[in-house]
């Protein structure tokens, strides 16, 4: 585990942005492409906006970066609640990313079919090899959910990498998510967690007690991940 603790939220976002572009450049130099699984939410939106700004827009070859989604709300891709819509507005549009580099989750079909289709698309992209991404970006919910892996859901007990449709208690009801084995296949996992309201969750994730049913984030390779925090989120570490 590597902790990157910054004095402010803005500083933390700049730190993770520098790490992402450096990692992208490394993979592009070594194998000609970089595969990145995006996270949704307001904090990642600020990161994407920064990466699309003049400070970082030329920092790597964005036309060799392939983008995926760790989870998605079951809403139209034009909906304000859509992770794809947010990323398209904040990142893909400003950087003029070609649509063939963006793998979005099709929410125009039934949830189970959407999950199966996305897994099929991932398997096709990796051409029969392990679905292993160069980077998965994650946030952390106050209830210690990660992606759309919520406490006490049956998906938490799965052993094989997969995309799954999960029913939630929020207003969007269904979500599509990578399960923990698929996330853990990634070469690198970055957590971006900011704010005092996340301090207890960060402590629970990293210091226990250990209960993966109650605290889904503990299914992820948290001890091998990079954590990008502001000082408020790191209060109890």
Q: Which residues pair with 5 in a beta bridge?
A: 229
The residues, ordered by sequence, that sit 6+ positions from 218 with a Cβ below 8 Å of its Cβ are 144, 205, 208, 210, 211, 212
The torsion angles phi and psi of 19, rounded to 5 degrees, stand at -65, -40
**For position 180, which CATH number holds?**
3.40.50.1360
Determine the Cα–Cα distance for residues 230 and 202; give it in Å rounded to an integer.
Answer: 11
Tokens of 53: 């700004």
Inform me whether the pLDDT recorded for 169 exceeds 80. Answer: no
Determine the Cα–Cα distance for residues 138 and 147; give it in Å rounded to an integer.
Answer: 7
Tokens of 172: 């969007």
Q: Is residue 200 part of a domain?
A: no
Q: Is residue 4 part of a domain?
A: no
Determine the Cα–Cα distance for residues 56 and 75; give it in Å rounded to an integer.
Answer: 31
Determine the Cα–Cα distance for residues 1 and 122; give it in Å rounded to an integer.
Answer: 28
Total domains in the chain come to 1
Q: Can you give the pTM of this predicted structure?
A: 0.97
Summarised one tens digit per residue, pLDDT across range 51-108 is 999 999 999 999 999 999 999 999 999 999 999 999 999 999 999 999 999 999 999 9
More confident residue, 160 or 172: 160
Question: To which H or E segment does residue 229 belong?
Answer: strand 226-230
Q: Is residue 19 part of a domain?
A: no
Inform me whether the pLDDT recorded for 172 exceeds 70. Answer: no
Q: Which domain holds residue 174?
A: 28-188
Summarised one tens digit per residue, pLDDT across range 201-230 is 999 999 989 999 999 999 999 889 999 999
Q: Is residue 10 part of a domain?
A: no
Distances (CA, A) of 58 to 54, 55, 67, 91, 189: 7, 8, 17, 13, 23
Q: Is residue 7 part of a domain?
A: no
Beta strand 174-178 with 163-167 is: antiparallel
Q: Is residue 212 part of a domain?
A: no
Q: Is residue 156 part of a domain?
A: yes
pLDDT of residue 171: 67
Q: Is residue 204 part of a domain?
A: no
pLDDT of residue 170: 72
Q: What percent of the chain has pLDDT over 90?
A: 94
Across 141-165, average pLDDT = 96
């Amino acid at each position: 585990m590597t902790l990157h603790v910054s004095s402010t939220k803005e500083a933390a976002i700049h730190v993770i942005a520098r790490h992402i572009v450096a990692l992208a450049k490394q993979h592009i130099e070594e194998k000609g492409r970089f595969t990145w699984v995006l996270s949704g939410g307001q904090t990642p939106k600020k990161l994407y906006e920064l990466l699309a700004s003049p400070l970082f827009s030329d920092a790597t070859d964005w036309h060799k970066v392939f983008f995926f989604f760790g989870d998605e709300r079951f809403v139209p891709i034009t909906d304000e609640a859509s992770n794809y819509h947010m990323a398209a507005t904040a990142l893909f549009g400003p950087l003029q990313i070609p649509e063939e580099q963006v793998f979005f989750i099709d929410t125009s079909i039934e949830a189970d079919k959407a999950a199966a289709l996305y897994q099929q698309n991932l398997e096709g992209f990796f051409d029969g090899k392990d679905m292993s991404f160069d980077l998965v970006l994650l946030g952390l919910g106050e209830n210690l959910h990660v992606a759309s892996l919520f406490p006490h859901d049956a998906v938490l007990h799965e052993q094989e990498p997969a995309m799954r449709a999960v029913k939630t208690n929020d207003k969007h009801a269904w979500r599509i998510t990578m399960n923990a084995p698929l996330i853990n296949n990634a070469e690198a996992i970055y957590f971006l967690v900011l704010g005092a309201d996340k301090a207890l969750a960060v402590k629970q994730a990293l210091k226990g007690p250990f209960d993966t049913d109650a605290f889904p984030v503990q299914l992820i390779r948290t001890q091998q991940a990079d954590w990008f925090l502001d000082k408020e989120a790191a209060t109890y570490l």
